[in-house]
Amino acid sequence: MVDRWISKRTEHFDSSGIRRVFDLAAKIENPINLSIGQPDFDVSDRTKEAAYRAIREGKNGYTLTQGIPPLKTKLQKKVDDEFNHDDRELFISSGTSGGLTVAMLSLIDPGDEVILFDPYFLVYPSIVRLAGGVPIIIDTHPDFRIDINDVQEAITDKTKAIIFNNPSNPTGVVATEEEVRGLANLAKEKGIVLISDEIYSDFCFDAPFVSPAKYNDQTIVVTGLSKSHAMTGWRVGFVHGPKALIDAMLRIQQYTFVCAPQPLQWAAVEGLDEDLTDHIHAYQKKRDLIYNGLSDLLEIARPCGAFYIYPKAPGGSGIAFVEKAIKNKILTIPGTIFSKHDSHFRISYAASNETLEQGIESLRKLIKS
C-alpha cells in the first residue's frame, strides 16, 4: 500500500547504478578509492576560523534569500569586473546543485525540451524531468567535443534551454574557445537559455577558462566554492544572469532552499581571498601522473580540467570492468552513471599521490591480465 503513495516523479531519480558500485565496495577493506568527486585537500584554517567566528557571534539564523550582503557584494564586483554586463545580477544558492534545481524549476514548463551533452553530470536529466521538461541528448563520443551543427539540428520549437558543463564531469575535457563561442552565439540567435555549469572553472590546466557569458550576456552561470575551496559539504554556490531570470529563481529559492547556511556564507567571504595557485598546480601534476600512467594501455581523451579522466573500458563494458576493479580493491565509477553508453569508466584523481600511484599500479596489472 505504501508504494501507491510514492509520486511518479521519484522514478526519474535512479541511483541503482551508484548503489550497486558502493554495495560491492562496502564488502572490501582498505580500497584504493578513485571514485570520489571532491578535493582531497581540506578547507583552509582561515576559512574555518571565519565559520567558527560567525557561529560564536550568533550568525546562525536565516539570511536574505539572495545571500548576505558582504558575500553578494564581493561576488557581484568579481562578476562585473569579468563581464561588464549592464544587466547581470546574482544570488547565493544552496550549492551548485541547488542553483541548477532552482534554475530548472524557474525556467522549464512541462513539455519544454532541454539539450544535454552525453556524457553529462548525472543529475542533469533528472532535474530536467523533475521540472516536467524533456531531456534531448546529444552524443559527443568518442572525443567529447561539441559539434555546433549537431546542436543546431537538435533545436526545435520546443527547445527552451541548453545545459553546458565546462570543464566536464565526468570526462575532464575542456571546451575550446571556438566551441564556447559557437554555443553561446547559437543560443543567443535562437533565443534559447544557455545554462553554464562552471563549478570546475578554476581547474583549467592547459589554457585559460572561457565562459559563454563572455559572448552571450543572457547566459545563466551556475558555480560555487565546493570544488575550488573544498567546501563540498558547506553548500555555498552562486548563480548570475539577467535580472529578470535571477528574480524568478529567487522566488523559487525562497519557497524551497530558503538560503545557504549563514555561518558558511560568512566563511566564504574570507575564502574568496585565498590564493588557489598551489592547489591548481598540484591537481595539474595529479592529472599528468594518472594520464601518463595509463594512457599507453587505455584509450583516453586527454583531460585538461576538473579532476577526472574517462577511459574507454578494456573489453568494452564499463560496468564489467568496474566490477572487476572492485574485486581488486580499486573503486571507480561506471560510465553508465553519466551516459547512455556502457563503454567507459570514470577515475577521480582527487586523491593523494600515494593513492594515485597505488591505483595506477593496480589498474595496469588488471588491464594486462
Residues with Cβ within 8 Å of residue 311, at least 6 apart in sequence: 294, 298, 299, 300, 344, 345, 347
User: Rounded to two decimals, what is the model's pTM?
Assistant: 0.94
Mode of pairing for the β-strands spanning 345-348 and 333-334: antiparallel
Strand, coil or helix: 277: helix
Rounded to an integer, what distance in angstroms lies between the CA atom of residue 2 and that of residue 172?
Answer: 42
pLDDT of residue 18: 67
The tens-digit pLDDT sequence of the chain (369 residues) is 677 788 888 777 776 666 766 776 677 888 999 998 889 889 999 999 999 999 999 999 999 999 999 999 999 999 999 999 899 999 999 999 999 999 999 999 999 999 999 999 999 999 999 999 999 999 999 999 999 999 999 999 999 999 999 999 999 999 999 999 999 999 999 999 999 999 999 999 999 999 999 999 999 999 999 999 888 989 999 999 999 999 999 999 999 999 999 999 999 999 999 999 999 999 999 999 999 999 999 999 999 999 999 999 999 999 999 999 999 999 999 999 999 999 999 999 999 999 999 999 999 999 998
Residues with Cβ within 8 Å of residue 91, at least 6 apart in sequence: 65, 66, 67, 72, 238, 239, 246, 249, 250, 253
b/e 349-360 (16+ beta carbons within 10 angstroms → b): bbbeeebbebbb
pLDDT of residue 29: 84
Beta bridge partners of 224: 237
Quote the Cα angle for 180-182-187, to 5°: 95
> Among candidates 275, 204, 329, which has minimal Cα distance to 47?
275
Rounded to an integer, what distance in angstroms lies between the CA atom of residue 29 and that of residue 52?
Answer: 35
pLDDT of residue 128: 96
Ranges of each domain in the chain: 2-42+276-368, 61-271
Rounded to an integer, what distance in angstroms lies between the CA atom of residue 191 and that of residue 189?
Answer: 6
Rounded to an integer, what distance in angstroms lies between the CA atom of residue 355 and that of residue 165?
Answer: 27
Mode of pairing for the β-strands spanning 32-33 and 220-224: unpaired
Q: What is the DSSP string of 42-66?
A: PPPHHHHHHHHHHHHTT--S---TT
Alpha helices in the chain (DSSP H): 16-25, 45-56, 69-83, 95-107, 123-130, 148-154, 177-190, 243-254, 262-271, 277-294, 318-327, 353-368
CATH level 3 topology of 2-42+276-368: Aspartate Aminotransferase, domain 1 (3.90.1150)
Rounded to an integer, what distance in angstroms lies between the CA atom of residue 300 and that of residue 183?
Answer: 25
State the DSSP H helix or E strand holding residue 347, giving kind and residue range, or none if neither.
strand 345-348
Quote the Cα angle for 339-108-173, to 5°: 35
CATH 3.40.640.10, applies to 61-271: yes
